[in-house]
């Protein structure tokens, strides 16, 4: 299957992308991974992207699109892929359509992970990270440490990242509503959008998503 995954920050896209890609035996292609790989390997696209980033400028859509194109042309993506973080706006969605049309392939579904805005704020603003090891992550409500402010694993200090503060989260949501959410209507016009609730246990959300994707595929 060829799938685009969308949803607001805090919807669990990263977690679900990894799980769904494994279940469907297709590569998980995330924008963040694309940038990191191209920059670390010092590809021409990576050098170009870094030149914009070093100046504090946004990387142009054309560079992101070319990176995605290169990745989708690799052998492991021949039978499908799951795109996470791309397309990020309608212009990128149109460019992706043109690219796929040129290759003679099409998307099977756009999976929209739906979560109420207050829940997004609660999920992200409640995160606490260990200063000693950023892989030690806790949540004040869902997975609190035994002792407030102290990492259960190593005893390090837990802190709230600047990106996770409520006012920052609400700004990120505004950006999502303005830039990314319009692609849902764009894909709805093509009959590709499958919306599921991203509330509940992680395993339950994965099974919900797989069921919805399989129904969508069967109806095509």
Residue 196 · residue 202 · CB < 8 Å = no
pLDDT at 79 over 80: yes
Closest CA relative to residue 68, chosen from 36, 30, 40: 30
pLDDT at 58 over 90: no
- pLDDT of 216: 85
Cα(173)–Cα(178) distance, integer angstroms = 9
The Cα-based distances of 120 to 79, 136, 184 in angstroms read 33, 20, 18
Domain ranges of the chain: 2-116+180-219
Active site residues: 13, 88, 127, 161, 172
Residues, the chain, total? 220
Which residues are within 8 A (CB) of 97 and not within 5 positions of it... i.e. 6 or more apart? none
Is 13 annotated as contributing to ligand binding?
A: yes
Confidence of residue 65 (pLDDT cuts 50, 70, 90): very high
Is 126 annotated as contributing to ligand binding?
A: no
Is 85 annotated as contributing to ligand binding?
A: yes
Is 15 annotated as contributing to ligand binding?
A: yes
Residue 80 · residue 2 · CB < 8 Å = yes
pLDDT at 220 over 80: no
pTM of the model: 0.89
Give CATH superfamily name and number for 2-116+180-219: P-loop containing nucleotide triphosphate hydrolases (3.40.50.300)
Residue 218 or residue 25, greater confidence: 25
Handedness of CA 142, 146, 150, 152 (dihedral sign): negative
pLDDT at 28 over 80: yes
Cα(51)–Cα(160) distance, integer angstroms = 30
């Amino acid at each position: 299957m060829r799938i685009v995954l969308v949803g607001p920050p805090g919807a669990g896209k990263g977690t679900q992308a990894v799980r769904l890609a494994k279940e469907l035996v297709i590569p998980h292609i995330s924008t963040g991974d694309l940038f990191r790989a191209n920059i670390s390997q010092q590809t021409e696209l990576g050098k170009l992207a870094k030149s914009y980033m070093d100046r504090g400028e946004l990387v142009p859509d054309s560079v992101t699109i070319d990176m995605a194109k290169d990745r989708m042309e690799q052998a492991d993506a021949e039978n499908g892929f799951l795109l996470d973080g791309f397309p990020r706006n309608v212009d990128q969605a149109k460019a992706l359509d043109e690219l796929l049309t040129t290759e003679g392939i099409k998307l099977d579904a756009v999976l929209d992970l739906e979560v109420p805005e207050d829940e997004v704020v609660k999920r992200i603003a409640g995160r606490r990270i260990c200063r000693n090891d950023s892989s030690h992550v806790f949540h004040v409500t869902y997975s609190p440490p035994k002792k407030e402010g102290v990492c259960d694993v190593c005893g390090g200090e837990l802190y709230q990242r600047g990106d996770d503060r409520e006012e920052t989260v609400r700004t990120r949501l505004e950006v999502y509503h303005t830039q990314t959410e319009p692609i849902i209507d764009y894909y709805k016009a093509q009959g590709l959008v499958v919306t599921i609730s991203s509330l509940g246990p992680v395993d339950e959300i994965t099974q919900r998503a797989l069921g919805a994707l399989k129904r969508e595929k069967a109806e095509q």
